[in-house]
Amino acid sequence: MPHLSEDVISRARALVALYPKPRSALIPICHLAQEQDGWLRPEAIEEIADIVGVTPAEVLGTASFYDLLHTEPVGKYVISLCTNVACMLSGAYELLEHSEKTLKIRAGGTTSDGMFTLEEAECIADCNNAPCIQVNGRYFGKLSKSDFDKLVEDLRNGNLDDVVPPHGTLCRIRRAVGLEAVNGTAARPAQRSRRGRKK
């Protein structure tokens, strides 16, 4: 029985059909698998390799290059704390030290209850709100130590379930345009004339 769900497999096959070469769909399919499990499990990697026609080692090699894809188990919430220049000047290292104390883990670790992974991140492009973090890709900025503790408490209690989905969820609303195009149900984009006007 496949590890990936029927839905994930069918969406993966639709993604493959979007590209001239199946391996071009590798990263989007890795995200689908990560959405299912929270990280890329070895059995998922095997099946992804099969779908795109590469070896599991190639899937692992590609996935391990990207920070957004996790090839080891992570917590339900991955907290990425930026320590780059703007955040560092606004107290990021002090916040990191505090976060490690609050969560009782070092950066790179996961809490024993599987709720939180803490990682140190490079600039996450929210310098105006330094010091800032992402939780599963969602931004929280201008964080004091007490703000951080409150955030952790709210996440733990489920108060932010509408704001921060479990790790791996890129978007709660699916785009259908590309997949419809595969099935021939979407109109082709209008051709543009030399002057840029639609024909």
List interacting residues with ligand FES (CB under 6 A).
Answer: 82, 84-87, 123-127, 130, 132
Assign 132 to helix, strand or coil. coil
DSSP code for 93: H
Give residues with Cβ within 8 angstroms of 26, minimum separation 6: 48, 52, 54, 59, 62
- Considering beta carbons, is residue 86 or 160 the nearer one to ligand FES? 86
To the nearest whole angstrom, how small is the minimum distance from the Cβ of residue 18 to ligand FES? Answer: 32
To the nearest whole angstrom, how small is the minimum distance from the Cβ of residue 10 to ligand FES? Answer: 37
- Considering beta carbons, is residue 8 or 133 the nearer one to ligand FES? 133
- Considering beta carbons, is residue 16 or 82 the nearer one to ligand FES? 82
Question: What CA–CA distances, in Å, run from 129 to 17, 82, 87, 115, 161?
Answer: 41, 11, 8, 25, 23
| Residue 87 host element (H or E) | helix 85-89
To the nearest whole angstrom, how small is the minimum distance from the Cβ of residue 26 to ligand FES? Answer: 28
To the nearest whole angstrom, how small is the minimum distance from the Cβ of residue 130 to ligand FES? Answer: 5
- Considering beta carbons, is residue 68 or 115 the nearer one to ligand FES? 68
CA–CA distance, 121 with 129 (Å, rounded to integer): 15
